[in-house]
Structure 1
Amino acid sequence: MALYRTYRPATFADVVGQEHVTDPLSRALDSGRINHAYLFSGPRGCGKTSSARILARSLNCVEGPTSRPCGTCTSCVALAPGGPGNLDVIELDAASHGGVDDTRELRDRAFYAPAESRYRVFIVDEAHMVTNAGFNALLKIVEEPPEHLIFVFATTEPEKVLPTIRSRTHHYPFRLLAPPVMRGLLEKICEREGVTVAPEVYPLVIRAGGGSPRDSLSILDQLLAGADDQGVAYERALALLGVTDVALIDTAVEALASADGAALFGAVEKVVDAGHDPRRFAVDLLERLRDLILLQAVPDAADRGLVEAPGDQLARMRGQIETLGPASLTRFAEIVHDALGEMRGTTSPRLLLEVMCARMLLPGVSNDDAALLQRLERLESGIGTTSIPVPAKPAEPEPEPKFVRPSQRKAMEEAKAAEEARRAAAEAAEADTPVAPAASAPVAPAASAPVAPAAAPPPMPTAPEP
């Protein structure tokens, strides 16, 4: 038998992580304040149907209504996990019995008194699948039922239940389990099964289960089925669940911290060569970034249960947040989140993964605030501040005008001739300077200045005619 069926809770005390529901229900049963309709809502695999069965068992116990069924009477034995069931406790799947004809038949059967129990309990699972016409057919009997009749609606989407029905029920919302609570449950079950599980395996199972006890137990059941004499090893769980190796995630994060493109794209190459899904790698990288953000904002996040990781991995993560600032981590997380949306349904996920890595490495190509803050953090930490010297461009001559009037052309030619004469005079003055005595060297530049116009006439005939 599957683990989630073997370890199905039999009383409200056995329900794990739902104290906000089980405690009020237990007090109501002990005080005798029984309502005629209940609505259990929450994500899948959180114990809604199991709690509905426990409620029916507690109501029909010989010592009941009580929050602690005796477990020995006929009703308790019949309604126990794995029991044969009771004629007066009827479970209906609204996914296949949600039409108006099915609800009319249920309404007609509900008026009959219980055969051997105190209450007749109708458990309607997946109640959001009941049509509006079906809910309207049930409305009158749910509003004013006989004294022996109790309805329990279980659904994952309570907003789809007809408001008139929902307003006549006691609504109890179920929640996903926190990682520390889930780990305690998994360790207790592994201890009962007598199987050794590596400590690094529990975070993988908890993340794959998503906080649902039933999903987590199904994954653990699969790992236990393939365990050898040494138990469940980390490498085997890693390969079976398809999770990216922690070493590759560490390499990618360290490459982002040092702005090392070769190391980052090398990690992507290893991911593809190992046969991992690029989208899965992006999901695992986003989870690591989330853990780093929490560790940076809450130093004792691991003690509070906000971050679930082994001790050596926590030490590496604390070293990574020393080189990555909050702006960089936030920008990386936003880029990876956007890339995950783009990867959905694409034919080339590796290409999008590499483009995502390029975006994270180049904050200068973006003009948003996150990229600006990341560039400031890099300047403060000295990462990626080396620049390549750019040679200065030679001065380009000013382009000549395309259209010139005759008067302007004559002035331009005269200016050009005067410039050439000045240049020739300067060259002649430089040629005469070495011949002068050393004592008169300081006076030579001042004396040569008035001589320049006298030396100018010889080259004048060589000037072009206008």
Structure 2
Amino acid sequence: MALALYRKYRPAKFADVVGQEHVTEPLGTALAAGRINHAYLFSGPRGCGKTSSARILARSLNCESGPTPDPCGQCPSCIALAPEGPGSIDVVELDAASHGGVDDARELRDRAFYAPAESRYRVFIVDEAHMVTTQGFNALLKIVEEPPEHLVFVFATTEPDKVLSTIRSRTHHYPFRLIPPGTLRTLLERICAEEGVVVAPAVYPLVIRAGGGSARDSLSVLDQLLAGAGEEGVTYERAVALLGITDVGLIDDVVDGLAAGDHAAVYEAVDRLVEAGHDPRRFAADLLQRLRDLTLMQAVPEAAGQGLVEAADDELARMIEQAAKFGPATLSRYGEIVHNGLTEMRGATAPRLLLELLCARLLLPAASTTDAGLLERLERMERRIATGSFEPSPAPRDAAPAVEEPSAPGRRQFVRPTAAATGRNAEADRSPERAEPDCGPAAASIGDGAARPDRGRPAPREAVPPADRGRAEAPAPAPSSAPDVAEVRRRWPEVLAATKQQKMRTHALLITATVRTVVDDTLVLDAGTAALARLLSEQSNLEIIAEALGAVLGGHWRVRCEFGDTEPPAQAPAQARNPPPRRPNRPEPARPETSRRPAPDDAVPVPPEPPEPPAEEPPPDDEEAMMAEAAAEPRGEPVSRRDPEEAAIELLSSELGARAIDQR
């Protein structure tokens, strides 16, 4: 029968105890100086070295060259008290979990008065001392308070507060701690080297996490993995299967889906999790651990080098990319939701249902009526401004498009929608800048089919030459491997690197976009703003992105960039893209007749719509509408010169201040 690793590598002297230098060094100094107490209390989590240190203390006290912190290992006492030795009659180890009654304490008290048979001291090690009853502690109180010269008590416990206070006050208390991950990994690597077994580097973080900072528990987990290792050693896949830990690929898919707002990807990952037989509770705990790692890596960029985050190199690279997609407020909200969900999942009969509801809460936007929601929205806007991708929305979503009505031959006329269709004051929209009649040469050019520059109307798309039209419309072959959206998101950092090698400008634009979905051979990107969508939709940028996808994933790709729920609009003049926002219940002053431009003789007049009372407009729900309104509102300076960042921050600050006043 093979000896367990935690017994085979049990420390034989204080120098071998890892991670407890704050205890072993003072004990060694006291032994070297001969300042030996009659009672000690070792407390701390399980498996951190309490009982082993008590045996080392007994060995150091009874060594022929002692008391010494470094036992010789050659004398009969050192050989008997070695980790694999037969033991000594003068060192008694008592398990209080099964011998904690008053009768056991009285028997121990009677045996304590006998002198040692062959050693210098009689040492009584009481393990799990918190299990001794109050009557048992009272029976030991007198001998612990005034023991014979040859007697030493060592109490080891995981709950020192349950030890009788009169006993605890008569001992030297040494608190043990959990072993740091870096120290524990060094120990595991040294043991694997001595055992001659190859272990994948990604396995050590799994073992350390399963061990929970306990040396004994970590060695037990490693012993199980080594027992089932094949010729290739301990692989990551085998460790994940044996330990029941969630595959890191599933966590990456969920985090990427949350960053992109892709509901389908998140729920597909949950389905694959359940189909693979993983525990939803364990997955929620691992997801909370990932959110913690992302928070630390965002707050402390050197977290991996300082040992704050333990993961493999490739996983650290993915977490760096993921941390850049979230803000502190978003990660804090996610962590709170997952933590509350873990509490609800304890003892639940339908953990999958609760996990899916938890994902639904994660995918919901932050409530705009709370301070945390306002801070999260402000954070997203600041990140867009910092990346240079801020631009107000081109038009309200509920605005109706211009309707083309038939008119005289060779001439087209665009009539604005009525106030009933748009919900706005039609008379207020009929300004000289927003409505110009078709007149003169412009009308003639339209009749001939030429492009007429018109303010307030999007520029026409560039025509494709007839020679290239067939080539442009020819469908590209689908990728050979047909990767799904999860695979594209997982390898998206490689695509970004390939794009960076070809053109830095395209890489700078692409780094702020996210993968929305993959349809056959077409990759659909989600841009943060309409301006970014238009820039990425340029033919040169799309070709570079498609080449990068082909180089990384293989095959031929098409790329389409979208903003919101629609495709990116075409380029339009600045005045047409950024119409001045309308304030509710504030009618515009009457314009003088001299400001209107006289209509030419050949223009078809448009009958004015009867004015309607201005409708009350709800406040904008999205960040871009808030930023457009804040940027265009005149507050003592021209609209064109107002800084959008200052306007956005000022607007949200006023909302926070108003909410604070309401609460008071």
CA contact under 8 A between 1:331 and 1:371: conserved in structure 2?
no
CA distance in 2, matches of 1:362, 1:374: 13
Contact 1:363 1:372 in 2 (8 A): no
Q: Do structure 1's residue 249 and structure 2's residue 258 form an aligned pair?
A: no
Aligned equivalents of 1:367, 1:335: Cα separation in 2: 17
CA distance, structure 1, for counterparts of residue 114 and residue 52 of structure 2: 25
Alignment of 1:156-195 (within 5 A): 156-195=158-197
1:361 to 357, 360, 363: 363
**Sequence identity of aligned pairs in percent?**
73
Q: Distance in 1 between matches of 2:253 and 2:133?
A: 53
- Which residue is 1:214 aligned to? 216
C-alpha contact 1:363 1:374 (8 A) present in aligned 2: no
Q: Which residue of 1 aligns with 2:627?
A: none
Match of 2:207 among 195, 205, 210: 205
Q: Distance in 2 between matches of 1:177 and 1:326?
A: 29
| Aligned match of 2:9 | 7
Counterpart CA distance in 2 for 1:113 and 1:288 is 58
- The Cα offsets for residues 316-367 of structure 1, whole Å up to 9 and x where unpaired, read as 1111111100001111011101100000000111111111111111134574
Specify the alignment match of 1:423 in structure 2: none
Q: What amino acid does structure 2 have at the position aligned with 1:179?
A: P
Cα distance in 1, alignment partners of residues 347 and 131 from structure 2: 29
Give the alignment partner of residue 290 of structure 1, picking from 292, 297, 304. 292
Give the secondary-structure state (helix, strand or coil) at the position aligned to 1:304: coil
| CA deviation vs aligned residue, 1:293-334 (integer Å, no higher than 9, x gap) | 111111111111110011111111111111100001111011
Contact 2:398–2:422 under 8 Å retained in 1: no
Distance in 2 of aligned mates of 1:274 and 1:235: 13
Choose the corresponding residue for 1:280, options 270, 276, 282: 282
The runs of 4+ residues in structure 1 deviating greater than 6 Å are: 390-396
Residues 13 and 70 in structure 2, CA contact (< 8 A), matched pair in contact too: yes
Distance 2:76 2:399 in 1: 90
Distance 1:129 1:368 in 2: 49
Question: 2:327 aligned with 1:318, yes or no?
Answer: no
Structure 2 equivalent of residue 429 of structure 1: none
Farther off after superposition, 4-13 or 355-364: 355-364
Aligned-residue offset at 1:372: 3.1
Residue 80 (str. 1) matches residue 89 (str. 2) = no
**Structure 2 equivalent of residue 262 of structure 1:** 264
Please, which moves more after superposition, 234-243 or 265-274? 265-274
Q: What is the deviation of 1:373? A: 2.3
1:178-236 Cα offsets, whole Å, 9 max, x none, are 11101000000000000000000000000010000000000000000000011001101
1:456 is matched with none
Aligned to 2:305: 303
| Deviation readout 1:152-171 (Å, 9 max, x if unpaired) | 00000000001110011000
**Corresponding letter in the other structure for 2:175:** P
- 1:380-409 superposed Cα distances (whole Å, 9 cap, x missing partner): 4469x998538898899xxxxxxxxxxxxx
8 Å contact 1:201–1:234 — kept in the other structure?
yes
Contact 2:94/2:125, CA 8 A, preserved across alignment: yes
Distance 1:331 1:94, change over 3 A: same
2:62 aligns with 60
Name the CA distance, whole Å, in 2 between partners of 1:219 and 1:14.
21
Question: How far off is 1:378 after superposition?
Answer: 3.3
d(CA) in 2 for partners of 1:101, 1:390: 88
CA distance 1:390–1:4, change in 2 (3 Å): farther
Structure with higher RCO (Cα < 8 A, 6+ apart) = 1
Name the stretch that deviates more: 357-366 or 173-182.
357-366
Q: Hey, what does 1:99 align to over in structure 2?
A: 101
Q: Matches of 1:393 and 1:93 in 2, distance apart?
A: 86
Equivalent residue in structure 2 for 1:152, among 143, 154, 167: 154
- Which residue in 1 is equivalent to 2:398? 389
What is the aligned partner in structure 2 of residue 402 from structure 1? none
Counterparts in 2 of 1:174 and 1:393: CA distance versus 1, 3 Å? farther
Distance 1:354 1:379 in 2: 29
Q: Which runs of 5+ in 1 are unaligned?
A: 397-437, 439-466
> Which secondary structure does the structure 2 equivalent of 1:232 belong to?
coil
**Corresponding letter in the other structure for 2:239:** A
Q: Structure 1's 359 and 143: CA in aligned 2 closer, same or farther, altered over 3 A?
A: same
How much has 1:78 moved relative to structure 2? 0.4
SS at match of 2:114: coil
More helix by share: 1
| 1:72 maps to amino acid | Q
- SS of the residue corresponding to residue 38 of structure 1 reads strand
TM-score, structure 2 as length reference: 0.58
Q: What is the 5 A alignment of 1:116-127?
A: 116-127=118-129
Could you list the runs of 5+ residues in structure 2 that have no partner in the other structure? 401-418, 424-600, 602-664
| Aligned equivalent of 2:48 | 46
How does the TM-score come out when normalised to structure 1? 0.82
> Which residue in the other structure is 2:130 paired with?
128
How far apart, in 1, do the equivalents of 2:322 and 2:180 lie?
Answer: 25
Distance 1:162 1:3, change over 3 A: same
The size of the alignment, in residue pairs, is: 396
Taking the aligned partners of 1:380 and 1:252, their CA distance within structure 2 comes to 25
Change (3 A) 1:35 1:380: same
Deviation at 1:369, TM superposition (A): 3.3
Query: Contact (CA 8 Å) 1:205, 1:219: kept in 2 or not?
Result: yes
Q: How does 1:216-231 map to 2 (within 5 A)?
A: 216-231=218-233
Deviation at 1:240, TM superposition (A): 0.7
